[in-house]
Chains A and B, each alone.
Chain A
Amino acid sequence: METGNNIFSVFQFEVEYGAFFRDDALSPKSGMPRRNPVYVLTHTYNTAGGGASLGSLARKDGSVRLTLIKTADNASYSKSATAPELMLQCYYPPLRGTYNVTGLRRDAASLGDSWYSGAALDAPRLRNEAPNPLCGIREAAIIARIAADGREMEMLVLHGKRAEADAYRHGFAVGAYDPYIELFRKNAVGW
């Protein structure tokens, strides 16, 4: 596999990288450990050098916090065979509630760490006519790695690759793109 020194020569499309760490603080409401883990964005990298789409999910204080939900826990969720196993949510002020960033489908061939794929909602508007904050990346594939101990999560947004999301997920799971993801990790800067 050719990695090259210049990552732009490899990826002909924009790739965003985000590293998240689990927030182990107790729930401010109940004072108990959280039932659903919350991940906080710490580092990002963007091959195109532009503003990261993940930034559109930032709260007023600038932090990006995503909650990981098991869809099996949600009684109203469809139990179809195509339903994703996990769901990433974040608080979105225009909705005065949570917004589903993406569903996450696990790769069966994941080694230790689990690899997931998903895609943002393909609609310009949400309920209450609130604008979809991820409308700009609705053609993108979202790939996520959750560490075996659940402490860290990495997310990649591959622009224009929604149709190939599952192929990329499997490629990352078997380590086919390891040199590239190492470059993203090395180049990532603090959020």
Chain B
Amino acid sequence: MVGIDTLAIFLPIGRMTREANAALVSLAREERIKRTGEICYRGAVGNLRFSLDGRGLYVVGSLAAYAHGQNVEPLRRSEIPQALERLSDELHADASAASVCRVDVAATMIMQHKPGAYLPILGYLPHFTRLAMGETTLEYRRGKQRKQELAFYDKTEECRARGGESLMPSAYRLAGNALRYEARLMKQVPAQIGVSCLQAGMLSDRNVFARLCGFFLESFKAIRKTYAMESVQAVKTPKEGEDYIKALLLSQAGSGFVEEYVQRLGEVMPGKNDKSRLRALLEAPGKKFSNRGDWNGGSLARELDLAVINETLYTA
């Protein structure tokens, strides 16, 4: 089920008491910021890191790992107030009144195949840069400012690499194939989800959570994917035959290959819209013969579609 994972919050110094400041300073180590010469205090409560300076308190980390001990299962809407209450107790400051600077909406999905098999079918996403990092991690970054990020990776492998496989919930450990999808709002979170201000306590609000789930789902839907092909009986004319073989070869290569090819040619083609035109030309045959119906035919893209939709049901 979709939930909250990493959270970054900021509490202005004016909203903190002297006792809270003193308590946090006792938990932290003093550091001098080289650029400004300012003194700040850095420390950690559980897995969450905090820094305290003249402006206020900044806390960042996985709230799910803070509450559950692992972040395979993200924090559900109903669990957010309890986690913030515990955090407030440890920080001696009202964490639910802090403004949200970054929030990750995440879900871990049990899949039929290894997570690496699903990454090549995820292709172009308008306004985002596609970054394949090895065979098991794929990221999309929006613009130079990186306001939004989408990430897909093998959660089982990540847990194994960190030595925390035994901490994985049994549902994922027994199944073996766990694909993680994270939709990250990295900056200006309130503006991006269309609210005037966003405090941490509001994350458990039904409407706010529904907007976050909407961002999670709509971002995924916007990614162009390679669906399974219809059978060859769909071909009626020689032109369609040509399109069919083009679509078949491109679908076997995967959307990732097409996107890399477009990016490479984009560097040598001088026209402003050349990349978009090339992408449209390459995608056209695939659209004509793609089968978006049932995934009994073995379409990985359809399976992934349904898995992500399934995560967003019964949440808000």
Contact = CB atoms under 8 A, between A and B. Distances in A.
Interface stretch (A27-35, A69-77, A149-157, A174-182): A174-182
B310 A109 contact: yes
Top 7 nearest A-B pairs (CB, nearest first) are: A176-B175, A167-B171, A108-B310, A109-B306, A171-B110, A164-B171, A171-B175
Interface of B: 1, 73, 108-112, 169-172, 174-177, 295-296, 303, 306-307, 309-310, 313-316
Contacts of B112: 174-176
Interface string A147-170: 000000000000001011011101
Given A168-B171, A171-B171, A108 B309 contact: yes
A105 B1 CA distance: 12
- Could you say which of B169, B172, B174, B177 has the most chain A C-beta atoms within 10 Å of its C-beta? B174
Given A108-B309, A108-B310, A176-B176, A167 B110 contact: yes
Interface of A: 1, 10-13, 81-82, 84, 105, 107-109, 111-112, 161, 163-164, 166-168, 170-171, 174-177, 180
Given A13-B170, A164-B169, A176-B175, A170 B315 contact: no
A82 B170 contact: no
- Could you say which of A111, A174, A175 has the most chain B C-beta atoms within 10 Å of its C-beta? A174
Contacts, number: 72
A134 B145 CA distance: 53
Nearest to B316: A81
B310 A107 contact: yes
A84 B314 CA distance: 8
Contacts of A176: 110-112, 174-177
A105 B111 contact: no
A17 to B, nearest CB: 16
The SS class assigned to the A binding surface is loop
Nearest to A167: B171
B73 A1 contact: no
A177 B176 CA distance: 10
A94 B71 CA distance: 43
Contact of B73 (A82, A164, A177): A164
A81 B2 CA distance: 14
A143 to B, nearest CB: 10
Contacts of B110: 167, 170-171, 174, 176
Contacts of B310: 107-109, 170
B174 A10 contact: yes
Given A109-B306, A161-B170, A167-B110, 7 more contacts: A105-B314, A108-B310, A166-B1, A167-B73, A171-B174, A175-B112, A176-B175
- Could you say which of B108, B306, B309, B315 has the most chain A C-beta atoms within 10 Å of its C-beta? B306
B171 A82 contact: no
A176 B115 CA distance: 13
A112 B306 CA distance: 14
A187 B94 CA distance: 54
